[in-house]
Amino acid sequence: AERGRRSVRWPRKMMAAAIAAAVLVGTAAAAAGPLWERYFGHLDEGQQAVIDSLSATPETLPAAESNGTVMTPLAAFGDRDFYYLMLEIRAPEGTVLPDYGEEKGYYQLFGDVPGEKISLMDGDGQELYNNREFAWMPRTGEDNVLTAVLRLWPAEGVDFSDGTDKILHIPGLWVQSPDKVYTPVLTGSWDFNIGAHSGGVESRTPDVAGVTVESEDCGTMTLEYLRISPLGMRIRYSWSDPVEGVWPSAELAVVMKDGSEVSLANSVGSAGEDWSEAYGPFDTPVNIEQAAAVRWGDAIIPLEAD
């Protein structure tokens, strides 16, 4: 992602599915919810409780220093499909990190040549592929400080919940111009082991046997798998009458007990001739205890506690 939050287009060809993954952890100041309002916006008590429960381990990810710049994890949490890291970047005293508008450029945590990319490695140095995006938080008034939030999406074979080392490497800070010219601002090596901890995951996989909806172009769509967690959903389905170049879909939303609905912020997935699967995050965490059902098109799938 070049500018923080953005959707990812589904590939229009058959490819291996991006399968599960994830768990989290890392911070641990009490009441983590209010800190995350800088990113999510206002959180109600239930949403704050979700974040606090997923951030409840006592360990704290340590800060890392390189070439005089200190990067400090302020908070981190996640579940089986998403990992959020709030990171303070503090340049040496006397350094000014200007504010940029899009007409002048914007900050990136990577450059445009080999060796200048963010990476995630296992304990043996093998790359763990993942999707990622980041957003910049409002400035605090200090000229030498920026705060970023990174959201990691797992790729096939990556499992944050297995308790093994997963080293997130950040190579520095760049400014990307509107013409995509990258100018280094701070370079070095900052590493964070986001996989050394694990925590409880509250997710539900409701019974979807017999759940179908009709597609205008591709016949009957059959739901094969659904998982919902406080941070997002994952779905797989197939259809009866394939049409070349057509990938049917149905709206996916969580129906809360008060009647309101919560949809995904965006999604990424893969598809074949007669099947599709995808996963994506909510705009803000969802209190699963207050969720009554999932709606897929005109089909309603009740949620019951596991």
What are the φ/ψ torsions at residue 171 (nearest 5 degrees)? -90, -10
Q: Which pLDDT belongs to residue 179?
A: 92
Joined tokens for residue 88 = 């303070």
The amino acid sitting at 244 is E
Q: Which pLDDT belongs to residue 4?
A: 35
The amino acid sitting at 172 is G
Q: Which pLDDT belongs to residue 76?
A: 86
Joined tokens for residue 40 = 């999510």
Left, alpha or beta for 209 (phi > 0: left; psi -120 to 50: alpha)?
A: beta
Q: Which residue has the higher pLDDT, 271 or 28?
A: 271
Q: Which pLDDT belongs to residue 185?
A: 95
CA distance 84 to 5: 13
CA distance 122 to 128: 7
Q: DSSP 3-state assignment of 94?
A: coil
CA distance 132 to 82: 10
pLDDT tens digits for range 130-160? 778 889 998 888 999 999 999 988 776 677 6
* Bridge partners (DSSP) listed for residue 66: 69
